[in-house]
Amino acid sequence: MSEQVLKISDFNVDFWVDGVWYPAVIDMNLELNAGKVTAIVGESGSGKSTTALGLMSLLASNARMSGSVQVKQEEMLNANASTLRKFRGREVAYIFQEPMTALNPVYTIGFQIVETLRNHFDMGPTQAHARALELITLVDIPEPEKSINKYPHQLSGGQRQRAMIAQALACDPGLLVADEPTTALDVTVQAEILDLMRGLKDKLNSAILLITHDMGVVADMADEILVMKDGITVEHGTADQIFNNPQHPYTQQLLGAVPKLGSSKKRALPYSESARPAPVLKLTDVTIEYPKRGRIPAFTAVKNFNLEIYPGEIVGLVGESGSGKTTVGRAAIGLLPIKEGTIEIVGKDISHATQKDLSSIRRHTGIVFQDPASSLNPRLPIGESIGEPIYLAGLAKGDALAHMVEDLLDQVELPRSYRNRYPHELSGGQRQRVGIARALALTPDLLIADEPTSALDVSVQARFLDLLQELQEKLKFACLFISHDLAVVDILSHRIAVMQNGLLVEEGDRDSILQKPKNDYTRRLISAVPVPDPAEQRIRREARLAAKK
Partner 1 sequence: MAKKNTSAVETTTQDGGENAIFNKETEGLSQGQIVLRRFVRHRGAMTSLFIIVGLILFVFSALDQKIGPFKIPGWWHYGTEDLPELRSEGCKEGLVGCPTFSLRPKFLGGAGFGLGEHPFGQDDIGRDYFALVMRGAQRSIMVMFVIGIIGGTLGTIIGAISGFYRGWIDAVLMRFTDFIITIPAIIIGSVVGYHFGNLGVGFLAFYLGLFAWTGLSRLVRGEFLTLREREFVDAARVAGASNRRIIFKHILPNAVGVIIVSVTLLMSGAILLETALSYLGFGVVAPDVSLGLLISQYQDSFTTRPWLFWYPGLFIITIALSINFIGDGLRDAFDPRQRRRITKKDRESAKTVKKAGA
Scanning residues 227 to 246, which ones bind partner 1 (CB under 8 A)? 229-232
10 part of the interface to partner 1, by CB under 8 A: no
Pick the closest to residue 213 from 93, 45, 397, 70 (CA basis): 45
Count the site residues for partner 1 by CB under 8 A. Answer: 81
- Which residues does 323 contact at the CB level (< 8 Å), separation at least 6? 499, 500, 501, 502
Q: Tell which one of 1, 19, 80, 549 touches partner 1 (CB under 8 A).
A: 19
Residue nearer to partner 1 on the CB measure, 466 or 520? 466
| Single-letter code of the amino acid located at 13 | V
Q: Rounded distance, CA 231 to CA 101, Å? A: 26
Q: Tell which one of 5, 37, 46, 320 touches partner 1 (CB under 8 A).
A: 46
| Single-letter code of the amino acid located at 457 | D
| Single-letter code of the amino acid located at 338 | I
Q: Could you tell me which stretch among 92-100, 138-146, 200-208, 420-428 binds partner 1 (CB under 8 A)?
A: 420-428
Residues numbered 454 to 493 that lie near partner 1 (CB under 8 A) are 457-460, 462-463, 465-466, 469, 491
Q: Could you tell me which stretch among 40-48, 109-117, 309-317, 512-520 binds partner 1 (CB under 8 A)?
A: 40-48
389 part of the interface to partner 1, by CB under 8 A: yes
Q: Tell which one of 6, 8, 24, 93 touches partner 1 (CB under 8 A).
A: 24
393 part of the interface to partner 1, by CB under 8 A: yes
Query: Which DSSP helix (H) or strand (E) runs through 479?
Result: strand 478-483
DSSP class of residue 152? G
Shortest spacing between CB 507 and partner 1, in angstroms: 23
Residue nearer to partner 1 on the CB measure, 98 or 371? 371
CB 285 within 8 A of CB 72: no
CB 41 within 8 A of CB 31: no
Work out the number of other CB atoms within 10 angstroms of the CB of residue 68.
15
379 part of the interface to partner 1, by CB under 8 A: yes
Q: Rounded distance, CA 295 to CA 318, Å? A: 31
Q: Rounded distance, CA 368 to CA 366, Å? A: 7
- Which residues does 344 contact at the CB level (< 8 Å), separation at least 6? 279, 281, 282, 283, 284, 350
121 part of the interface to partner 1, by CB under 8 A: no
Using CA atoms, how far residue 423 sits from 47, 156, 315, 341, in Å, is: 23, 34, 29, 38
DSSP class of residue 319? -
Using CA atoms, how far residue 156 sits from 100, 150, 160, in Å, is: 10, 11, 6
Residue nearer to partner 1 on the CB measure, 182 or 472? 472
Q: Tell which one of 66, 101, 154, 359 touches partner 1 (CB under 8 A).
A: 359
Shortest spacing between CB 496 and partner 1, in angstroms: 16
Q: Could you tell me which stretch among 106-114, 189-197, 368-376, 478-486 binds partner 1 (CB under 8 A)?
A: 368-376
Shortest spacing between CB 112 and partner 1, in angstroms: 26
45 part of the interface to partner 1, by CB under 8 A: yes
392 part of the interface to partner 1, by CB under 8 A: yes
The CA angle 135-137-140, to the nearest 5 degrees, is: 115
Shortest spacing between CB 92 and partner 1, in angstroms: 24
Shortest spacing between CB 415 and partner 1, in angstroms: 7
**What does the per-residue mask of binding to partner 1 show for 297-336, with x meaning CB under 8 A?**
---------------------------------x--x-x-
Query: Which DSSP helix (H) or strand (E) runs through 478?
Result: strand 478-483
Sign of the Cα torsion 416, 422, 423, 429 reads negative
Q: Could you tell me which stretch among 159-167, 311-319, 416-424, 522-530 binds partner 1 (CB under 8 A)?
A: 416-424
For the chain, the straight-line distance linking the first and the last C-alpha, in angstroms and rounded, comes to: 29
- Which residues does 205 contact at the CB level (< 8 Å), separation at least 6? 1, 34, 35
193 part of the interface to partner 1, by CB under 8 A: no
Burial of 146 (0-12, 13-18, 19+ CB in 10 A): exposed
Residue nearer to partner 1 on the CB measure, 367 or 514? 367
Residues numbered 249 to 268 that lie near partner 1 (CB under 8 A) are 253-254, 256-257, 259-260, 263-265
> 503-509 and 495-500: which strand pairing?
antiparallel
Residues numbered 56 to 115 that lie near partner 1 (CB under 8 A) are 61-62, 64
CB 441 within 8 A of CB 408: yes
211 part of the interface to partner 1, by CB under 8 A: no
Q: Tell which one of 238, 374, 397, 403 touches partner 1 (CB under 8 A).
A: 374
13 part of the interface to partner 1, by CB under 8 A: no
Shortest spacing between CB 269 and partner 1, in angstroms: 18
Pick the closest to residue 155 from 107, 220, 88, 222 (CA basis): 107
18 part of the interface to partner 1, by CB under 8 A: yes
Shortest spacing between CB 348 and partner 1, in angstroms: 15
337 part of the interface to partner 1, by CB under 8 A: no
Residues numbered 428 to 457 that lie near partner 1 (CB under 8 A) are 428-430, 435, 438, 441, 457
Can you tell me whether residue 262 is helix, strand or coil?
A: coil
Residue nearer to partner 1 on the CB measure, 159 or 472? 472
Shortest spacing between CB 111 and partner 1, in angstroms: 29
Q: Tell which one of 9, 10, 22, 348 touches partner 1 (CB under 8 A).
A: 22
The CA angle 60-61-63, to the nearest 5 degrees, is: 75
